[in-house]
Amino acid sequence: MTDNKQKTIRFLDLFAGAGGLSEGFIRAGFTPVAHVEADKAACFTLKTRAAYHWLKNSGRLDRYNAYLHGSITRGELYELVPKKQILSVINSEIREDSLAEIFGEIDILLRGEKVDLIIGGPPCQAYSLAGRARDKNGMKGDKRNYLYVYYAEFLRRYKPKYFLFENVMGLLSAKDENCALYLSTMKKLFKEQGYETAEKIISANDYGVLQKRKRVILFGNREGKTGFFPMPEEWKPGINVEEILKDLPFLKAGTGSVSPHKLKIYSGNYLYDAGIRNGNERVTLHIARPHNVQDLEIYRIAVKKWNEHRHRLYYHDLPDNLKTHKNQTSFTDRFKVVAADLPVSHTVVAHIAKDGHYYIHPDIDQNRSITPREAARMQTFPDDYFFESASENTGRSAAFRQIGNAVPVLLAQKIAEKLWETW
């Protein structure tokens, strides 16, 4: 990792989610000023992670681990760190009537310092192909389509040297009511704020993430550089999906715990090289949901189809008595098999809390859907990253939603490291 003592580069994270993008930039040496996020549960996750980083830098990780083990409450954890760390997470929806208040909170945190970089991407549902397919109006007129306008307001106010705008592949084809491409419109708006822009399609599995996940990255600079893009160097570790899951404790359906589990012995390199296994020999949120008879029958069909033909199960292939979802026109591949012997898995998505992502191990039949920790590892979150809920009672659904919506940490880190070199 780059020595971040050489320089301080401050960034804002807008539409921050659970902080996957931010975590990658922190690893590369960048310093967060504030995270702005509307979801309450994700904000608690960001606060807990801010507490983690401060305690780690202060040599007091024992207090963070005490929280994970339930020895202290979330509120007591937050009391251990400077108030500024907790206030740096701004729980607010970014909209026209909230901008002034958000700007005010950020200005207090800056204390006269400048913002060097803005990162983040608005919620993807409005631009995604799946979202458009599900909505009778193709998401046209949805207010989330226009959140980039407020992103531009942050550029106008803070004038960072660079910005990074991330979103799904559907952004390339999404159009407004006048059939104008949103991407073209937003690039024109960013140009008006003084930014030259360039976009690239980035495949996460080209950078050490064992997952099929493509994202559009729009990069902007105020230096007048046309075509400038900090393209990261590829890293393909040459391993299979089994590598990211094989040291996790064995679980049956309905077993496991939110509290720390002890990991099995691991003799490989990838989990360390990717920053997933980082010295903490225990993992949280390794808990499998219970399954009813219908779930198990669907899994049986999905696994049989995969083992015999290497084909995914589509919802319309199921017998009518097993079709209980009202929506049968999109997310038809909702019951997916995470095959351990492949170099990449399918894309981890937010709705896995409800759907069956069955993990096939070549030696052990665990007969269950994946856990939040397994999903987090597929997204390259480190094992000590804890996903909160809006209440003190952490649930799987809140964790899955945050994990599925996140940018893989390792992908963000690779981009950030390349950008750091140019500063």
pLDDT digits (tens, 9 = 90+) for 368-386: 788 999 999 999 999 999 9
Q: Report yes or no on 1 lying in a domain.
A: no
Are 214 and 247 in the same domain?
Answer: no
Q: Which of 9-13, 303-307, 387-391, 398-402 has the lowest mean pLDDT?
A: 303-307
Name the pLDDT band for 203 (thresholds 50, 70, 90): very high
Name the pLDDT band for 89 (thresholds 50, 70, 90): very high
Residue 279 has a pLDDT of 85
Residue 292 has pLDDT above 70, yes or no: yes
Q: Which of 68-82, 193-207, 225-239, 313-327 has the lowest mean pLDDT?
A: 313-327
Mean per-residue pLDDT for 392-415?
88
* 3-state SS class at 396: helix
Q: Using CA atoms, how far apart are residues 117 and 139, in angstroms rounded to an integer?
A: 30
DSSP 141: T
Residue 348 has a pLDDT of 81
Report for 5-14, 47-56, 128-137: range of highest mean pLDDT: 47-56
Q: Report yes or no on 209 lying in a domain.
A: yes
Top pLDDT among 412 and 123 is at 412
Are 148 and 288 in the same domain?
Answer: no
Q: Which of 78-92, 124-138, 218-232 has the lowest mean pLDDT?
A: 124-138
Mean per-residue pLDDT for 386-397?
81
Name the pLDDT band for 365 (thresholds 50, 70, 90): low
Are 252 and 226 in the same domain?
Answer: no
Name the pLDDT band for 119 (thresholds 50, 70, 90): very high
What is the number of structural domains in the chain? 2
Are 178 and 256 in the same domain?
Answer: no
Closest CA to 263 of 247, 286, 251: 247
Q: Report yes or no on 306 lying in a domain.
A: yes
Give the domain extent around 72: 10-236+405-422
Are 209 and 267 in the same domain?
Answer: no
β-pairing, 357-360 vs 336-339, is parallel
Q: What angle do CA 328, 334, 336 make, to 5 degrees?
A: 145
Q: Report yes or no on 92 lying in a domain.
A: yes
Q: Report yes or no on 399 lying in a domain.
A: no
Q: Using CA atoms, how far apart are residues 95 and 228, in angstroms rounded to an integer?
A: 30
Name the pLDDT band for 134 (thresholds 50, 70, 90): very low
Q: Report yes or no on 400 lying in a domain.
A: no
DSSP 222: S
Are 90 and 188 in the same domain?
Answer: yes
Catalytic choice (16, 124, 204, 409): 124
Residue 132 has a pLDDT of 39
Q: Report yes or no on 271 lying in a domain.
A: yes
Residue holding tokens 């007091």?
A: 60
Q: Using CA atoms, how far apart are residues 318 and 262, in angstroms rounded to an integer?
A: 38
Residue 104 has pLDDT above 80, yes or no: yes
Write the pLDDT tens digit of every residue in 227-256. Answer: 999 999 999 999 999 999 999 998 888 899
Are 313 and 363 in the same domain?
Answer: yes
Residue 127 has pLDDT above 60, yes or no: no
Q: Report yes or no on 355 lying in a domain.
A: yes
List Cα–Cα distances, 351 to 145, 256, 356, 377, in angstroms.
Answer: 21, 21, 10, 17
What CATH number is attached to the domain comprising 284? 3.90.120
Q: How many helices (H) and strands (E) does the chain have?
A: 14, 13
Mean per-residue pLDDT for 89-97?
96
**Tokens standing for 203?**
């495949």
Q: What angle do CA 383, 284, 263 make, to 5 degrees?
A: 70
The number of CA neighbours under 13 Å toward the Cβ of 267 is 0
Of all residues in the chain, what percent carry a pLDDT higher than 90? 64
β-pairing, 214-221 vs 357-360, is unpaired
Q: Using CA atoms, how far apart are residues 357 and 335, in angstroms rounded to an integer?
A: 6
Contact 165, 172 (CB under 8 A): no
Contact 107, 157 (CB under 8 A): no
What SS3 string covers 227-275?
CCCCCCCCECCCCCHHHHCCCCCCCCCCCEECCCEECCCCCCCHHHHCC
Rounded (10°) CA dihedral 331, 336, 342, 348: 60
Are 209 and 306 in the same domain?
Answer: no
Mean per-residue pLDDT for 409-415?
98
Q: What angle do CA 86, 91, 95 make, to 5 degrees?
A: 145
Mean per-residue pLDDT for 209-222?
95
Mean per-residue pLDDT for 174-196?
91
The burial class, CB within 10 Å (0-12 / 13-18 / 19+), for 213 is buried
> Is the full-model pTM beyond 0.85?
yes
Of all residues in the chain, what percent carry a pLDDT higher than 70? 87
Residue 63 has pLDDT above 70, yes or no: yes
Are 45 and 128 in the same domain?
Answer: yes
Residue 383 has a pLDDT of 97
Mean per-residue pLDDT for 109-122?
96
**Tokens standing for 391?**
């209440």
Residue 153 has a pLDDT of 97
Contact 58, 399 (CB under 8 A): no
What is the residue-averaged pLDDT of the chain? 88
Residue 363 has pLDDT above 80, yes or no: no
Residue 179 has pLDDT above 90, yes or no: no
Are 232 and 348 in the same domain?
Answer: no
Is 43 one of the annotated active-site residues of the chain?
no
Write the pLDDT tens digit of every residue in 15-35. Answer: 999 999 999 999 999 999 999
Are 168 and 210 in the same domain?
Answer: yes
Are 176 and 39 in the same domain?
Answer: yes
List Cα–Cα distances, 268 to 237, 265, 359, 379, in angstroms.
Answer: 11, 10, 20, 19
What CATH number is attached to the domain comprising 191? 3.40.50.150
Residue 330 has a pLDDT of 61
Question: For the chain, how big is the Rg over CA atoms in Å?
Answer: 21
Residue 223 has pLDDT above 60, yes or no: yes
